[in-house]
Amino acid sequence: MTITDLVAPEAILPALKVNSKKQALQELAARASALTGQNERAVFEVLLQREKLGTTAVGYGVAIPHGKLPKLEKLFGFFARLERPIDFEAMDGQPVDLIFLLLAPEGAGADHLKALARVSRLLRDKSVCEKLRGADQTDAIYALLTDTAKSHAA
């Protein structure tokens, strides 16, 4: 499984305008709903429930909200570059400006974990994050995510 399998160009928001974690999750749920055919409220609730367990902000301005949905047929990724960093309750205290949303079918099990690990590995690379922060076009962000991911495949 590659990043290309997870995220499509239409699943990238190059300049999302939000003011809070909740608003970011709502916007991402709405976009994910439109692209997956899933119920927007159900997507939002799954993301909120996961955040209640602990923040999905992984540090260095990156968050990877994720959840499982019963009617989803395959793993689905969505990337947003925020116009302004927001508080995401990160352990390092840094605001978040890069979000990779990952949705998985309820029975995904190991595939869900592998996808999370792959996204996490990619976004732990500070040079990748700096390039993503500097890109403001969908095609440039998609190319960075997918081309760079090839060198992080392990």
Contacts of 13 (CB under 8 A, 6+ apart): 27, 31, 78, 79, 80, 81
Examine the pLDDT at 153 and tell me if it is beyond 60. Answer: no
Q: Select which of 21, 66, 112, 118 is catalytic.
A: 66
Among 18-22, 52-56, 110-114, where is mean pLDDT lowest?
A: 110-114
What's the rounded Cα separation, in Å, for the pair 153 and 57?
A: 22
Please give the helix or strand (H or E) that residue 112 lies within, else none.
helix 110-123
| Number of domains comprising the chain | 1
Number of helices and strands in the chain (H, E): 6, 6
pTM, two decimals, is 0.93
Q: What is the pLDDT of residues 78-132, one digit of tens each?
A: 999 999 999 999 999 999 999 999 999 998 888 999 999 999 999 999 999 999 9
Domain that holds residue 118: 3-152
| 66 belongs to the catalytic site | yes
CATH number, domain containing residue 35 = 3.40.930.10
